[in-house]
Structure 1
């Protein structure tokens, strides 16, 4: 009889220990999930609103168009992530001109950036042209023929305008 009582007592103690351990594990998992959701919501609150990628709408040459689309997406992503580096129209314009000049050194590029609701455009003559559209901005990149004796004017009228991502 004593053996049976000891065995029952041992089983009860083991069950109690198992319940305590299971409860502690569940509480630890709940706490971990709670911390994880707090951290993830803090990360979401800190990250700025990301806008859709810019897409190529039209191009005179698919390779040129794809190059422009890639460069515009890099510029816009950088503008959203690091507005101090590339937050103004002039910064993006300069970056696009420098990068395009590496691949097309004998061309004079003109770049027009504008908010979608404010203008539309169409370019017909030029060896290279591309129209890229993003949910907030349109970008037009094109070349023109230039007389070597004519002075090239960059006309930076809107170069100090800031991009508005939020």
Structure 2
């Protein structure tokens, strides 16, 4: 079972559905399209509020001319050891200036969520039983020191080891 989580807790009425051959968005749902399907759809009209799925091998820069028409970008983590979605999220936030929701989908583990938050990911489609249990108990692991800047700055400037605070 997949549950959507963000920093305010679990979301009960999330409308987003990743479309595939087997599943399509219903009347009260919103479709998350692959990049190619999204680009084909935006060329047909001026519709807004799209959801886009970015897989690890995709080039997120293909979205740059259409970011104002996207409400949600789902970055895919097909396996815990494939970190390309961290780069996609960071690029969307830091360089491309995307202001909409960025969601982690796939193999979302509890230990990676703080790092995903730092890269600019807002919400998480969680299926891992341990992650679901820890999130329901508000037991998110913390990171005391940061070694590099990121898309989401820390509230405590002293937590950056690379920044000298006088």
The answer to whether TM tops 0.5 is no
Whose Rg is larger? 1
Shorter-chain TM-score: which interval? under 0.3
Q: TM-score, normalised by structure 1?
A: 0.25
Q: TM-score, normalised by structure 2?
A: 0.25
Greater RCO, 1 or 2 (C-alpha within 8 Å, sep 6+)? 1
Structure with the larger helix share: 1
Structure with the larger strand share: 2
